[in-house]
Structure formats: C-alpha cells, structure tokens
Amino acid sequence: MIVVIDYNMGNPGSILNMLRKIGAEAKLSNDRNVILGAGKLVLPGVGSFDTGMKNLAQLGLIPLLNEVVIGKRTPILGICLGMQLLGKSSGEGALPGLGWIDFRNERFTFGENTPGSDTAGGHRGALKIPHMGWNNIIIRRDSALFAGLTEDSRFYFVHSYHAVCEKSENVQAETNYGYDFASIVGQENIYGVQFHPEKSHKFGMRLLKNFAEL
C-alpha cells in the first residue's frame, strides 16, 4: 500500500489517480496506523514552505514521519513542495524543514550573464519566475527510480524555489533553467522530485511506477 500523506496542501487526487492507473494500491490518509502500515509514502504539496511545515506539525505528523521514514526506513517520495520539505530550510520561510537531506531551498536568481536573460542577450528573452512548463532532466546518479527514462524524458514544473544540496551525491538529476539546479534528490530510502510526475503523462507515469516497484 502506498499512502499519500494528507496534510491539506495541494490536490493529492491526481497523484492517487495516477498511482491507481499504474496498478498501485494507494490511499490518502493522515491516520497514524495507516501511515505506520504503509509500504511506501508520498508527500505531495503545492503552496508555501512554512504553511506545509505548520500543517504537518499541527497534525502531529512530524514525529510520526520521522519514526516511519528514519526509524523503519519506509521509502518516501516528496513531490514539488513535498520535495522541498525534505530539506533543512527554505528562503521562502522561517521554519525548519524535515531535515532528512542536507539541502536548502533557494529562489531562482538570474544575473546579467545567465543564458536567456535580457541582459545576457539570450535568444529566449527574460526567464520568468516561477519556472513553469515542460523541461528535461539530466541524470547524475544511477537509480532504480530512472528505469526506462532517458534525458529525452520531459516533466512538468511549477516552482520558484529549488534545492541547493550540500553533498553532490544527493543530486540524482538536474534540470537547466538559466542554470542547472537539482530537480531530483535522494538519500537511501528518501526521494524527492521538484516536478509533478502526476502531470507529466507517460514520463511521470513511468517514474511513479518505478517508485511503486522499488
């Protein structure tokens, strides 16, 4: 059973639909016993960093998730804001994150020499924030999560902040938007994707299927 964590952030319905479409048994819940019995977890999320952490805290989910993910080593996949919450902090807010992977979330910053910026004379015009739309991933580490995926695989992004990892080994894939940023992070049983696999058609379906089959 894959449990999608219900903490009142974003719309997890499309994630549940995609998981069921690939044949995975999935359920939306914040019930302690359901989460303790999960084979895998998904932490979704759309919205602000501090609101996400506040909601997790108010529901009593932070110690529970630490028990399940760190103690029991249950695999977890963070999606979009859910990925950002896996890190230590964010420039978007003041609260600490879950701190499972050593990274900080920083807002896109485009300087004069950023390819594609007006001041750099790039042919694409000014890069806008948020980064919104389809983009490729550049695989940096071997992972079962990438089975059947290539650098032609395209995923749908909507975000203004991105992870900056302290350890290069935590960067499993990058994406270029003005510069390369970590679009997939990982450490042991913990994975995070900055894009929305549930909105990424066949490529997102394949990634979720790979996670379900880990």
Helix (H) or strand (E) holding 104: strand 103-107
Distance CA 198, CA 20 (A): 11
Q: Contact 198/87 with Cβ under 8 angstroms? A: no
Choice among 131, 159, 162, 196 that is catalytic? 196
Quick check: is 80 catalytic? yes
Choice among 25, 159, 198, 201 that is catalytic? 198
Quick check: is 165 catalytic? no
Distance CA 149, CA 146 (A): 5
Quick check: is 166 catalytic? no
Q: Contact 106/164 with Cβ under 8 angstroms? A: yes
Our separate counts of H helices and E strands in the chain read 6, 13
Per-residue three-class SS string for 15-70: HHHHHHHCCCCEEEECCHHHHHCCCEEEECCCCCHHHHHHHHHHCCHHHHHHHHHH
Choice among 80, 131, 159, 165 that is catalytic? 80
Distance CA 84, CA 166 (A): 14
Q: What is the dihedral of CA 213, 87, 73, 9, to 10 degrees?
A: -70
List the catalytic residues. Answer: 80, 196, 198
